[in-house]
Amino acid sequence: MVMKKTGKLRKYLEIEKKPRKGLMGLEWVILVYTLITLLITLFCFTKLQNPDAMIWGRVRIAAITIAMWIVYRLVPCKMMKFLRIFTQMLLLGWWYADTYHINSLFPNLDHIVAHWDQLLFGCQPAMLFSEHFASPLLSEILNFAYVSYFPIILAVCAFYFFARYNQLERACFIIVASFFSFYLLFDLFPVTGPMYYYKAVGMDKIAHGIFPAIGNYFCTHDEMLPPPGWTDGIGYNLLVAIHRGEHPTGAFPSSHVGIAVVSMILAWKSHNKTLFFTLLPFALLIFFATVYIRAHYAIDVFAGLIVGIVLYLFWNAVAKKYNI
C-alpha cells in the first residue's frame, strides 16, 4: 500500500518528456494585464494615491512569474507546473485590491446600478433580503456559501491536476483569464456594492428610493455595513475577517457569481458528476449570498451570470485556437 502511494506521488515529480518551453497562456494573460495597467499607472501617475507601490507591485509579480518559469525549466515536472499556476492564483487577491486604485480615477457609479435594481425589482433586494430573512441559521449558511467561492476554484483546479492533467493548463487559463477580464471591468466601472454605498448615503435615503451620486467619496472613505444576521457565528466572523482592510471596489458585475459559473462549467466539462454535483449547491448559494450579505446588488448577480458564460465561451475558444 505504501509502495503504491509512493509510486503515485513520484509520477508528479518525474521530469516531463515534452515540457512547455515558454510561458503558459495564463502567465501571458497576467503579463498583458500588468502591462496595460502599468501604462495606465504611468500615464495617471500624479492622480493616483500610491503609484510607486502599484509600479513596484507589478515589477515584483513579473519577476515572480519569470522566476517560477525558470525553476520549472530547471525541474520540469507536473508538481512544479502546478506550483506555477497556484502561485498566480494566490496573487489574485492582490490584483483584486489593486483595482481600487485604478477605478478611483473615475467617479463612483453605485447610484446608477442601485437605480437599475429599483427599476427592475421595484425595491432594493440587498436591503429587503437581509432585513426580512435574517436568521442565525440562514446567516451562517450564506456566509459560508460566500466564502466557499475560493474552495470551489481550488477543487476544480485540483481535480484537473490529479484526474485531467492534460487539460489542466487550459482549465486554469480559462479561470485566470476570466478573473482578469473581471478586473479590467472593475478598473473602468467603479461600483462598490450596497455594503459600502448604503453606508455612505444612509439607509433612510435607500429606503425612500433616493440614490445620490457621490463622486470620488470612496477615495477617502472605506466604511461599510457589517454582514447581517448572527454576529456570534463562525461564518459571520470569517466573513468579517476576509473583508477587514478591504477597499471599496469591484461589485459590478459580480465576479463571485461569474467565476463560480466558469468553474461549474469546467466541472461539468470534466465529465465527473461527483465533482459537479458536490460543488453545485455551494455555487447556487453564492448567487443568494452575494445579495444577502450586501456585497452586491441583485443586478450584479444576473450580470455576473451572463458575463461568466460569455467569458467561458470566449476564453475556451482562445484556448482551442492557440492550443492551450
Task: Quick: pLDDT tens for 149-165.
Answer: 889 999 999 999 999 99
Q: Is 5 exposed, middle or buried (0-12, 13-18, 19+ CB in 10 A)?
A: exposed
Q: Which of 256, 266, 241 is nearest to 291 (CA)?
A: 256
What pLDDT is stored for residue 3 in this prediction?
Answer: 47
What pLDDT is stored for residue 119 in this prediction?
Answer: 95
Q: Which amino acid is at 301?
A: V
The three-point CA angle 306-312-315 to 5° equals 130
Q: Domain limits at 294?
A: 2-321
The mean predicted confidence, pLDDT, of the chain is 91
Judged against a pLDDT cut of 80, whether residue 208 lies above it is answered with: yes
CA 58 vs. chain centroid, Å, equals: 18
Q: Strand pairing partners for 77?
A: 15
d(CA 253, CA 172): 21
Distances (CA, A) of 20 to 13, 78, 146: 16, 11, 36
| Residue whose C-alpha cell reads 506521488 in the numeric block | 9
Distances (CA, A) of 228 to 1, 16, 126, 153, 322: 49, 51, 11, 26, 46
Virtual torsion, Cα 172, 175, 181, 182, nearest 10 deg: -150
What pLDDT is stored for residue 2 in this prediction?
Answer: 46
Q: Tens digits of per-residue pLDDT, 43-58?
A: 999 999 889 999 999 9
Confidence of residue 240 (pLDDT cuts 50, 70, 90): confident
156, 224 Cβ separation under 8 angstroms: no
What pLDDT is stored for residue 161 in this prediction?
Answer: 95
What pLDDT is stored for residue 24 in this prediction?
Answer: 95
- DSSP-assigned states of every residue in 98-151: HHHHHHTTS---HHHHHHHHHHHHSS-HHHHHHHHS--HHHHHHHHHHHHTHHH
Element (H, E) at 296: none
User: What is the arithmetic mean of pLDDT over 251-276?
Assistant: 96
State percent of the chain over pLDDT 90: 75
Q: Tens digits of per-residue pLDDT, 163-204?
A: 999 999 999 999 999 999 999 999 999 999 999 999 999 999
What pLDDT is stored for residue 138 in this prediction?
Answer: 85
175, 264 Cβ separation under 8 angstroms: no
Number of domains composing the chain: 1
Confidence of residue 6 (pLDDT cuts 50, 70, 90): low
87, 62 Cβ separation under 8 angstroms: no
Which of 20-29, 70-79, 136-145 is predicted least confidently?
Answer: 136-145
Phi, psi at residue 293, to the nearest 5°? -85, 0
What pLDDT is stored for residue 9 in this prediction?
Answer: 72
What pLDDT is stored for residue 225 in this prediction?
Answer: 86
Helix (H, G, I), strand (E, B) or coil at 15: strand
Cell numbers at residue 264, please? 461549474
User: What is the arithmetic mean of pLDDT over 64-93?
Assistant: 94
Helices (H), the chain: 2-11, 25-43, 51-74, 78-90, 92-103, 110-121, 125-132, 136-147, 149-163, 168-188, 194-201, 203-207, 234-243, 255-269, 273-292, 298-321
CB atoms within 10 A of CB 192: 28
Judged against a pLDDT cut of 60, whether residue 302 lies above it is answered with: yes
